[in-house]
């Protein structure tokens, strides 16, 4: 199969895959990329200081992959390295523990070529734990939806579809936003989406799913320290006026940020870290009050107490 790694062909997509000690999962991940129906792409794997056999896994695919290494600095810095060397008009991100379906890039390309020329595209996902448990998903006619920009989707169910492995962004927009935060934290992707909040239009492929999102206990999001750091970064950046849209778009931004905070504070409570959970609650109390999230405000402390009793 002819791939866009051929230097005579300019890729439409640069597929950037950060990885860290995931040799056991990386092969399945790469097989899903090279099974794409759309073939004008290059593959860039950035090893974030792995100590396992990740490089050997990549080498088995030969010259079809551009392999880069860096000292362990986190997925944001790894993706930035990939963005810097990318040649494609769009950069599509895929985490090394997730997989794509054969139609993923084809649907991204179809949407990117619409007259509206969206610069920020996402697809939906299906959850799985082990390869054998990946749900059977059939290719269907793609169903698209567009919004004026990412912030405009703040209260839409489509917002729940968003994961880094189902995101495709025009490279020029990524460079304009200066890429991901280099800080090693969870939520570096959410921070970038907010900084890209006014890229227009923001487009969603509602069906069929774009990626299989692997749920497992050793994923990066399982780190409570990095989760706390990421949530504080979102809060502090908003308070400092670091996200676009000004006061007229403030409500949409805090809708997005508090959605992340609610999930993170509940997860922190379940992981027996009440101090960190309550910190996030206190820092965003006024925002939750302003947007009327009464269920969360009233239920937070009883739930935290219940989790402590059952610890």
CATH number at residue 69: 3.90.550.10
| 3 lies in some domain | no
Q: Pick 189 or 7 by higher pLDDT.
A: 189
Q: Which of 44, 63, 55 is nearest to 22 (CA)?
A: 55
User: What's the pLDDT at 310?
Assistant: 63
Position 220 pLDDT exceeds 50: no
Q: How far apart are CA 245 and CA 150, in angstroms?
A: 11
Same domain, 151 and 228: no
Q: How far apart are CA 41 and CA 63, in angstroms?
A: 13
Same domain, 104 and 246: no
Number of domains making up the chain:
2
Confidence label for 5 from pLDDT (cuts 50, 70 and 90): very low
Given its phi and psi angles, is residue 21 left (phi above 0), alpha (psi -120 to 50 degrees) or beta?
left
| 169 lies in some domain | yes
| 5 lies in some domain | no
Q: What is the pLDDT of residues 68-82, one digit of tens each?
A: 999 999 999 999 999
Cis ω before 208 (30° cut-off from 0): yes
| 250 lies in some domain | yes
| 195 lies in some domain | yes
Same domain, 27 and 127: yes
Same domain, 153 and 261: no
Same domain, 210 and 292: no
Number of C-alpha atoms within 13 angstroms, CB side, residue 214?
20
| 206 lies in some domain | yes
- Which residues neighbour 141 within 8 Å (Cβ) at sequence distance 6 or greater? none
- Domain containing 258 equals 223-309
Same domain, 295 and 158: no
Per-position DSSP letters for 202-248, written without gaps between them: EEEEEES--EEEE--TTSGGG-HHHHHHHHHHHHHHHHTT-STTTGG
Q: How far apart are CA 203 and CA 148, in angstroms?
A: 9
Which strands form 99-100's sheet, in the order they lie side by side? 99-100, 211-214, 125-128
| 132 lies in some domain | yes
């Amino acid at each position: 199969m002819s791939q866009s790694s051929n230097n005579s062909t300019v890729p439409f997509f640069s597929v950037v895959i950060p990885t860290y000690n995931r040799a056991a999962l990386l092969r399945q991940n790469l097989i899903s990329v090279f099974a794409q129906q759309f073939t004008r792409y290059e593959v860039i794997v950035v090893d974030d200081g792995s100590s396992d056999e990740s490089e050997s896994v990549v080498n088995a695919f030969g010259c079809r992959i551009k392999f880069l290494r860096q000292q362990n600095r986190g997925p944001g810095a790894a993706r930035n390295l990939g963005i810097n060397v990318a040649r494609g008009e769009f950069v599509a991100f895929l985490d090394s523990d997730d997989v794509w379906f054969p139609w993923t890039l084809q649907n991204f390309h179809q949407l990117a070529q619409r007259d509206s020329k969206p610069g920020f595209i996402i697809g939906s996902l299906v959850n799985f734990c082990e390869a054998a448990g990946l749900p059977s998903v059939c290719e269907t006619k793609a169903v698209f939806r567009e919004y004026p920009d990412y912030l405009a989707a703040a209260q839409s169910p489509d917002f729940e579809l968003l994961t880094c492995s189902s995101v495709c962004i025009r490279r020029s927009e990524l460079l304009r936003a200066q890429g991901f935060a280099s800080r090693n934290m969870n939520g570096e992707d959410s921070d970038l989406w907010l900084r890209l909040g006014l890229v227009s239009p923001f487009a969603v492929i509602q069906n069929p799913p774009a990626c299989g999102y692997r749920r497992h206990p050793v994923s990066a999001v399982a780190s409570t320290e990095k989760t706390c750091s990421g949530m504080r970064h979102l809060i502090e950046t908003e308070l400092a006026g670091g996200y676009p849209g000004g006061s007229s778009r403030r409500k949409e931004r805090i809708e997005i940020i508090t959605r992340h905070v609610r999930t993170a504070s509940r997860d922190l409570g379940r992981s027996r870290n009440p101090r960190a959970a309550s910190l996030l609650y206190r820092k965003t109390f006024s925002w939750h009050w302003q947007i009327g999230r009464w269920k969360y405000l009233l239920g937070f402390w009883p739930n935290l107490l219940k989790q402590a009793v059952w610890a």
